[in-house]
Protein backbone atom coordinates (compact mmCIF):
# COMPACT_ATOMS: atom_id res chain seq x y z
CA UNK A 1 0.00 0.00 0.00
CA UNK A 2 1.16 3.53 -0.77
CA UNK A 3 0.81 5.85 2.19
CA UNK A 4 1.35 9.60 2.16
CA UNK A 5 2.95 10.56 5.47
CA UNK A 6 3.60 14.01 6.89
CA UNK A 7 4.53 15.68 10.12
CA UNK A 8 5.64 18.93 11.56
CA UNK A 9 8.77 19.14 13.73
CA UNK A 10 6.93 17.76 16.78
CA UNK A 11 5.85 14.65 14.89
CA UNK A 12 9.10 13.94 13.04
CA UNK A 13 10.37 11.25 15.42
CA UNK A 14 7.05 9.38 15.43
CA UNK A 15 6.80 9.66 11.64
CA UNK A 16 10.19 7.98 11.27
CA UNK A 17 9.24 5.25 13.75
CA UNK A 18 6.06 4.48 11.80
CA UNK A 19 7.90 4.36 8.48
CA UNK A 20 10.41 1.90 9.93
CA UNK A 21 7.77 -0.26 11.63
CA UNK A 22 5.60 -0.49 8.52
CA UNK A 23 8.44 -1.00 6.07
CA UNK A 24 6.28 -3.38 4.01
CA UNK A 25 4.34 -0.33 2.80
CA UNK A 26 5.58 2.32 0.40
CA UNK A 27 5.65 5.77 1.99
CA UNK A 28 5.47 9.06 0.17
CA UNK A 29 7.11 11.29 2.77
CA UNK A 30 6.12 14.87 2.06
CA UNK A 31 8.00 16.28 5.06
CA UNK A 32 9.11 17.72 7.29
CA UNK A 33 12.57 16.21 7.37
CA UNK A 34 14.19 18.30 10.11
CA UNK A 35 13.40 19.30 13.70
CA UNK A 36 13.38 22.97 12.73
CA UNK A 37 10.10 24.64 13.66
CA UNK A 38 7.63 24.54 10.77
CA UNK A 39 3.93 24.92 10.06
CA UNK A 40 1.80 21.76 10.09
CA UNK A 41 -0.83 23.06 7.60
CA UNK A 42 1.78 23.00 4.83
CA UNK A 43 2.41 19.29 5.35
CA UNK A 44 -1.24 18.38 5.92
CA UNK A 45 -2.02 19.90 2.53
CA UNK A 46 0.75 17.99 0.77
CA UNK A 47 -0.32 14.65 2.27
CA UNK A 48 -4.00 15.33 1.58
CA UNK A 49 -3.29 16.15 -2.05
CA UNK A 50 -1.43 12.85 -2.48
CA UNK A 51 -4.43 10.91 -1.16
CA UNK A 52 -7.05 12.83 -3.14
CA UNK A 53 -5.07 12.50 -6.38
CA UNK A 54 -4.81 8.74 -5.89
CA UNK A 55 -1.03 8.80 -5.74
CA UNK A 56 -1.42 7.41 -2.21
CA UNK A 57 -4.17 5.09 -0.98
CA UNK A 58 -4.17 6.50 2.54
CA UNK A 59 -2.40 9.13 4.60
CA UNK A 60 -0.94 9.56 8.05
CA UNK A 61 -0.34 13.02 9.49
CA UNK A 62 1.34 13.85 12.80
CA UNK A 63 1.86 16.96 14.90
CA UNK A 64 2.24 17.55 18.64
CA UNK A 65 -1.40 16.96 19.59
CA UNK A 66 -2.76 15.83 16.24
CA UNK A 67 -5.44 18.50 16.47
CA UNK A 68 -4.00 21.17 14.18
CA UNK A 69 -2.82 18.81 11.49
CA UNK A 70 -6.16 16.96 11.47
CA UNK A 71 -8.07 20.23 11.12
CA UNK A 72 -5.80 21.29 8.27
CA UNK A 73 -6.00 17.90 6.51
CA UNK A 74 -9.80 18.00 6.67
CA UNK A 75 -9.79 21.26 4.71
CA UNK A 76 -8.56 19.34 1.65
CA UNK A 77 -11.63 18.39 -0.37
CA UNK A 78 -12.07 14.63 -0.27
CA UNK A 79 -10.11 14.04 2.91
CA UNK A 80 -11.70 12.42 5.92
CA UNK A 81 -8.98 12.68 8.56
CA UNK A 82 -9.58 11.03 11.92
CA UNK A 83 -7.61 11.97 15.02
CA UNK A 84 -7.29 8.75 16.98
CA UNK A 85 -6.07 8.22 20.54
CA UNK A 86 -6.74 4.49 20.82
CA UNK A 87 -7.26 1.37 18.74
CA UNK A 88 -11.07 1.51 19.00
CA UNK A 89 -11.19 4.99 17.52
CA UNK A 90 -8.89 3.84 14.71
CA UNK A 91 -11.09 0.83 13.96
CA UNK A 92 -14.33 2.81 13.97
CA UNK A 93 -12.86 5.64 11.87
CA UNK A 94 -12.25 3.10 9.12
CA UNK A 95 -15.33 0.86 9.56
CA UNK A 96 -17.92 3.60 9.93
CA UNK A 97 -16.36 6.77 8.49
CA UNK A 98 -14.05 5.43 5.78
CA UNK A 99 -11.33 7.75 7.08
CA UNK A 100 -8.60 8.07 4.47
CA UNK A 101 -6.14 9.94 6.69
CA UNK A 102 -5.06 9.00 10.21
CA UNK A 103 -3.98 11.87 12.46
CA UNK A 104 -1.81 11.26 15.50
CA UNK A 105 -0.54 13.42 18.34
CA UNK A 106 3.12 12.68 19.03
CA UNK A 107 3.12 14.53 22.36
CA UNK A 108 -0.14 12.97 23.53
CA UNK A 109 0.27 9.24 22.96
CA UNK A 110 3.28 6.99 23.37
CA UNK A 111 5.13 5.51 20.44
CA UNK A 112 3.98 1.94 21.14
CA UNK A 113 0.35 3.02 21.26
CA UNK A 114 0.79 5.02 18.05
CA UNK A 115 2.10 1.91 16.29
CA UNK A 116 -0.86 -0.16 17.55
CA UNK A 117 -3.32 2.52 16.44
CA UNK A 118 -1.75 2.65 12.98
CA UNK A 119 -1.76 -1.18 12.73
CA UNK A 120 -5.48 -1.32 13.41
CA UNK A 121 -6.23 1.62 11.14
CA UNK A 122 -4.25 0.24 8.20
CA UNK A 123 -5.82 -3.23 8.34
CA UNK A 124 -9.44 -2.22 8.96
CA UNK A 125 -11.78 -2.01 5.98
CA UNK A 126 -14.80 0.25 5.50
CA UNK A 127 -18.04 -1.63 6.24
CA UNK A 128 -20.16 0.35 3.80
CA UNK A 129 -23.85 -0.48 4.15
CA UNK A 130 -25.73 1.98 6.33
CA UNK A 131 -22.49 3.93 6.82
CA UNK A 132 -22.12 4.62 3.09
CA UNK A 133 -24.95 7.17 3.04
CA UNK A 134 -23.34 9.06 5.90
CA UNK A 135 -19.98 9.24 4.14
CA UNK A 136 -21.79 10.49 1.03
CA UNK A 137 -23.48 13.19 3.13
CA UNK A 138 -20.09 14.27 4.45
CA UNK A 139 -18.91 14.65 0.86
CA UNK A 140 -21.97 16.75 0.01
CA UNK A 141 -21.10 19.17 2.81
CA UNK A 142 -17.85 19.89 0.95
CA UNK A 143 -19.70 20.71 -2.27
Active-site option among 9, 21, 25, 63 = 63
Whether 84 is a known active-site residue: answer no
Whether 96 is a known active-site residue: answer yes
Active-site option among 9, 21, 38, 96 = 96
Half-sphere exposure of 9 (CA within 13 A, CB side): 6
For the stretch 114-117, contacts whose Cβ atoms lie closer than 8 Å and that sit 24 or more positions apart, written own/partner, are: 114/14, 114/17, 114/18, 115/17, 115/18, 115/21, 116/87, 117/84, 117/85, 117/86, 117/87, 117/89, 117/90
Active site residues: 63, 96
Amino acid sequence: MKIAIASDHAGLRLKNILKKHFAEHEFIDVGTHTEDSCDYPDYALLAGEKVVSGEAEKGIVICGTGIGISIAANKVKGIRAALCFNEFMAEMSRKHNDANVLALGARVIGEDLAVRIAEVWLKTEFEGGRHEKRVIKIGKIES
